[in-house]
């Protein structure tokens, strides 16, 4: 038996998810590029599998640039440095410019040579991109440095509900009309990520197709390539984590099952709903009365609590944790315990 905890990567699920996403894009969009958001899960096998399927990539740092094949790459982020920008320019990445300072850096690298870039536009108050009121002046400023705006980029947030998603698409189409009126010929509308994972779609009583059909409705009228940057929708259920119950204990009237994983691997900031299932079910336990256990991790932090489990647990039981493909691997803390290995399910 493998040493717990360990991750299991399921390339077949990732492949199914990518093909489903691509089929829906083909059904609803005239021209599109899927650029997987690398930060969501940058394990090399994920990148390799998606590359084989024809995916492009969205990166946000030098580390991520080094991980991806140099085909069509979207470069995002509010903190791009000169070294990254030089590589992006040399490899003809689509740069989604986040600030005036970044435009100045690009102009300095290019020394007057013309270039095309995209602008990140923020639909709400945030540290990202430009607000709508800045668009006129930034486009003129770019032009004066021989830099031409041929794309715009938005990101609606993550696990976004359809109502909010549609409202953002509506705002985007108004901005595109405004830019067209100004004589700006866009090649790309990059709509970022925001496609919920399977569990969230089920909770919202929606399907991925609802999102793609909304994009069709609002943006297909423009003669551009739509860039989509899915993250969690592709990888969330393509990873599982296997953990062991190491200790059962009682105090303050509660029963705790202490696992060998905690918030060091299952951070709340991933915004994923984790699903816990005991995998060594034994027949004789069927008639036992169910109990409530608080699932807690091994760390010396009092907030290292993962959730509740109703059933029967004993020390040595194995628990499978599903829906952990987004961020858990990349955010894993190297604190008291090492980052677990990833086994690939063939
Ligand atoms: C710019 C950008 N694109 C894509 C994504 C992926 O988002 P999601 O996993 O919700 O599809 C993110 C995640 O926050 C992002 O910031």
Ligand 1 atom with least separation from CA of 96 = 1
CA 49 to centroid of ligand 1, rounded, Å: 19
Q: How far is the CA of 159 from the centre of ligand 1 (A)?
A: 9
In order along its 346 residues, the chain shows pLDDT tens digits of 689 999 999 999 999 999 999 999 999 999 999 999 999 999 999 999 999 999 999 999 999 999 999 999 999 999 999 999 999 999 999 999 999 999 999 999 999 999 999 999 999 999 999 999 999 999 999 999 999 999 999 999 999 999 999 999 999 999 999 999 999 999 999 999 999 999 999 999 999 999 999 999 999 999 999 999 999 999 999 999 999 999 999 999 999 999 999 999 999 999 999 999 999 866 566 667 899 999 999 999 999 999 999 999 999 999 999 999 999 999 999 999 999 999 999 9
**Does any domain span residue 212?**
yes
Rounded Cα distance between 145 and 151, Å, is: 17
Q: Are residues 217 and 320 in the same domain?
A: no
Q: Which of 153, 194, 199 has most ligand 1 atoms within 8 Å of CB, for mutation? A: 194
| C-alpha to C-alpha distance for 331 and 346, rounded to whole angstroms | 25
Q: Quote the ligand 1 centre to 293 CA distance (angstroms).
A: 34
Nearest CA to ligand 1 atom 5: 193
- For ligand 1, residues with CB inside 6 Å are 37, 40, 58, 76, 155, 158, 192-195, 229-233
The closest alpha carbon to 314, from 235, 270, 240, 259, belongs to 259
Same domain membership, residue 83 and residue 24: yes
Counting atoms of ligand 1 from 1, which one is nearest the CA of 153? 1
Token pair of 208, please?
């991925």
- Domain count within the chain: 2
Do 315 and 196 belong to one domain? no
Residue 69 resides in a domain: yes
CA 23–ligand 1 middle distance (angstroms): 20
Structure tokens at 47: 């990148």
**Closest to 36 (Cα-Cα) out of 271, 242, 193:** 193
Task: Give the domain CATH number at 292.
Answer: 2.40.37.10
Same domain, yes or no, for 212 and 277?
Answer: no
Q: Which domain holds residue 125?
A: 11-235
Distances (CA, A) of 246 to 205, 260, 309, 317: 37, 7, 15, 8
Mark whether 194 and 124 lie in a shared domain.
yes
Residue 127 lies in a domain: yes
Decide if 5 is inside a domain: no
**Distance from the CA of 157 to the center of ligand 1, in angstroms?**
7
Centre of ligand 1 from the C-alpha of residue 79, in Å: 16
CA distance 305 to 295: 6
The predicted model scores a pTM of 0.96
By three-state DSSP, how is residue 197 classified? Answer: coil
326 domain-assigned: yes
């Amino acid at each position: 038996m493998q040493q717990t905890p360990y991750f299991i990567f399921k390339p077949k699920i990732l492949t199914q998810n990518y093909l489903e996403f691509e089929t829906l894009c083909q059904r609803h969009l005239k021209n599109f590029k899927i650029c997987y958001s690398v930060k969501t899960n940058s394990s090399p096998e994920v990148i390799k599998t998606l590359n084989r399927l024809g995916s492009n990539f969205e990166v946000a740092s030098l580390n991520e640039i080094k991980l991806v094949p140099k085909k069509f790459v979207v470069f995002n982020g509010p903190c791009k440095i000169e070294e990254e920008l030089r590589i992006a320019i040399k490899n003809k990445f689509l740069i989604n410019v986040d600030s005036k300072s970044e435009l100045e850096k690009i102009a300095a690298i290019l020394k007057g040579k013309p270039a095309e870039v995209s602008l990140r536009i923020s639909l709400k108050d945030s540290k990202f991109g430009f607000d709508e009121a800045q668009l006129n002046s930034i486009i003129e400023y770019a032009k004066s440095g021989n830099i031409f705006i041929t794309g715009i980029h938005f990101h609606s947030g993550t696990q976004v509900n359809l109502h909010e998603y549609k409202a953002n698409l509506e705002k985007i189409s108004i901005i595109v009309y405004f830019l067209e009126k100004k004589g700006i010929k866009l090649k790309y509308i990059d709509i970022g990520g925001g496609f919920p994972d399977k569990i969230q779609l089920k909770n919202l009583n929606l399907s991925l197709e609802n999102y793609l059909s909304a994009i069709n409705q609002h943006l297909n009228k423009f003669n551009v390539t739509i860039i989509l940057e899915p993250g969690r929708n592709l990888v969330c259920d393509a990873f599982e984590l296997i953990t062991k119950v190491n200790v059962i204990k009682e105090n303050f009237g509660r029963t705790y099952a202490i696992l060998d994983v905690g918030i060091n691997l299952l951070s709340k900031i991933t915004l994923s709903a984790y699903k816990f299932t005991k995998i060594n079910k034994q027949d004789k336990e069927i008639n036992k009365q169910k109990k409530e256990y608080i699932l807690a991790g091994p760390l010396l932090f009092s907030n290292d609590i993962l959730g509740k489990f109703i059933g029967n647990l004993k020390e040595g039981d194995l628990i499978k944790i599903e829906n952990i493909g987004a961020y858990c691997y990349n955010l894993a803390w190297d604190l008291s315990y090492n980052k677990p290995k990833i086994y690939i399910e063939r």
